A and B are shown apart, each in its own frame.
Chain A
Amino acid sequence: MAIKVYVPCDSTALSLGANKTAEAIVAEAKKRGLEIELVRNGSRGLFWLEPMVEVATNEGRVAYAPVFPKDVPSLFEANFLTGGAHALNLGLTEELAWLKKQQRLTFARVGITNPISLDDYLAHDGYKGLKNALQMTGAEVVKTVTDSGLRGRGGAAFPTGIKWNTVLGCQADQKYIVCNADEGDSGTYSDRMVMEDDPYVLIEGMTIAGIAVGATQGYIYLRSEYPHALKALNEAISRAEKAGYLGANICGSQHTFNLEVRRAAGAYVCGEETSLLESLEGKRGLVRFKPPLPAIEGLFGKPTVVNNVISLATVPIILDKGAQYYADYGMGRSRGTLPIQLAGNLKQTGLVELAFGSTLRELLYDFGGGSASGRPIRAVQVGGPLGAYLPESQFDTPLDYEEFTKIWAVLGHGGIVAFDDTVDMAKMARYAFEFCAIESCGKCTPCRIGSTRGVEVIDKITSGKDHAKNITLVRDLSDTMLNGSLCALGGMTPYPVLSALNHFGEDFGLPANIKAG
């Protein structure tokens, strides 16, 4: 029997040359007359070790990483097809400390299966949640999601079940499920991984949502920057349709659910749910006033569930194992797990799914291994471009929505970007304003004008012009944006700006901060 060799097809693995590694392995096997079965799996999320090659042995899958074409002949020499010793041999994948320390619920299958194989998905507990949901009433499904404590993983952390319940309670001839897959935050890639590496879990989650609230049409609003995710989703949707998991009479039931991927067009603001809905309707992505809530008047004026990829992809395991199973993980009001994405200047970057409650320090040093440059980590931005910058004195904060709120920071989508001590925080504050100016939809004045004025004020501060006056002015401007903007883009740009100013004042020409504690 041909030996299975796994080479990831995740786009980060591809960005490091996984295709060339795969080609080299196939060519070398052919040259040696060895029969192998090449499987293009998703990534295990140890991105600093990609391309990671795995071989199926009697003891389990053995990992070799990172493998580049030049390493391939020596791997064959070392009999890697039977798990042979080699400098790149990391042992059994399942035993790798990085993976063993995690609690992978949403990411249970990611990296293990061939993403577009429906058989693989079914063999690894796929569609068990849907099977259960089909035996329940809509209200029971919604209650299960509510009881699990799942909160919106896009950043706002609104309880998913409560949102669903509002849509369930609306009378309408048409309802929609919209997946917000416009993951535009720097330092985040968990949505992309789910869509590329386990697309069926998102499809299943959306189908369950549709059945729960009585929606028959779903849309995935996907970033245009994710071509590989687009391919994987479209292929998975088409296979799910053929197998009766989408379309009319799902799994022989009376339920109908159709799903379509719609490509975004590079506007960051369309990650805001009302702007996203405008875009889906074919308009400029201008933010809407709320109320009405999208749950009541959403897409095309109909009741609409708008959820992030991770929220929806977490629904299948909740319906499979029960609300309590999920709620047993976590701390305080942050129940379950959070897929954390380590990025920026870290030695060991990648996807870490953990129950809420771990600290930044554990993530940065135990998982991340410290900075990639070897210099001290000076600042960490959590939660994307609208998240606060945290100094070392805050690294012991547990990852929990409320704990982060207490220190005027946000967990957001769980992206962590580390900077070493070469970072200029005044420059990062300027960039935050600049980004807001580029991406503002222009509807509200604080965001449209404030962002541009913000860049100018920071420039005055760094050039020393009317220094004290402009420090006061930037605080005043931030206050206006914080309280007067229509959505989070203008409303949260002050987070990176003020946190940089408050914690790293020396970069703005202020006396060095006295470290608390």
Chain B
Amino acid sequence: MTAVLSTEEITRINAHIDRYQHVQGSLLPLLHAIQDDIGYVPESAYFPISKALALSVAEVHGVVTFYHHFRRHPAGKHILQVCRAESCQAMGSEKLEAHIKSTLGIDYHQTTSDRAITLEPVYCLGNCACSPAVMMDDEVYGRMSAEKISELIKEARSA
């Protein structure tokens, strides 16, 4: 889905660009600042970013698309990241993944129809001592079970 930016969002994006314009190697910090603020990196921001950092639009596009973290479209209200790495696999994350996908009715990189949750795979959350692990927004949850994740999803939806 494409979103139209409000005048206020454009002002905020420009403020981030002004802040990082003269910082060395600032493209990643700038993209983080925009995504933290707006929720994603809108394509319409590529041109002003490229002008400010003396890059081509293609270079900005190339960086945004190289990194898994940056999203080009608005996400749901909450982002649920499910660890797919080995330690979590050793503790049954495959079953957990299947349960989450069927509970939410979506696959990875998709958002539920009520826009509550965007589902993303992640390759290690550094919580390998308590696998399987998931992360809801900025909080990690360990030793996840089908019941626990269902509860977490319910909380996120009602929050």
Contacts and interface: CB of A to CB of B under 8 A. Distances in A.
Main secondary structure, interface of B, reads mixed
Given A419-B90, A428-B86, A266 B68 contact: yes
A227 B122 CA distance: 14
A262 B69 CA distance: 14
A441 B68 CA distance: 12
Given A186-B123, A435-B123, A47 B86 contact: no
A223 B66 CA distance: 15
Contacts of B66: 267, 284-285, 441
A262 B29 contact: yes
Nearest to B125: A225
A275 to B, nearest CB: 10
Interface of A: 11-12, 14-16, 47-48, 50, 183-189, 191-192, 223-227, 262-268, 279-285, 299-300, 341-345, 349-351, 372, 381, 385, 415, 417-420, 423, 428, 431, 435, 438-439, 441
Across the A-B interface, give the 4 residue pairs with the lowest CB-CB distance, nearest first: A282-B27, A186-B85, A265-B67, A47-B129
B90 A344 contact: yes
Given A16-B142, A267-B67, A282-B53, 15 more contacts: A15-B130, A186-B85, A186-B87, A186-B123, A223-B126, A263-B28, A265-B28, A282-B63, A299-B25, A343-B128, A344-B90, A385-B86, A415-B128, A420-B90, A435-B85
Contact of B129 (A342, A381, A423, A439): A342
Contact of A343 (B26, B27, B123, B131): B131
Contact of A225 (B88, B122, B131): B122
A428 B85 CA distance: 10
Interface residues of B, number: 43
Contact of B87 (A281, A299, A344, A435): A344
B90 A189 contact: no
A360 to B, nearest CB: 15
Contact of A183 (B67, B69, B122, B126): B126
Nearest to B20: A282
A14 B139 contact: yes
A226 B133 CA distance: 13
18 contacts: A11-B126, A47-B129, A189-B127, A225-B81, A225-B124, A262-B28, A263-B32, A266-B68, A267-B69, A268-B123, A282-B53, A283-B63, A300-B25, A343-B87, A344-B86, A345-B90, A420-B90, A439-B123
A419 B143 CA distance: 16
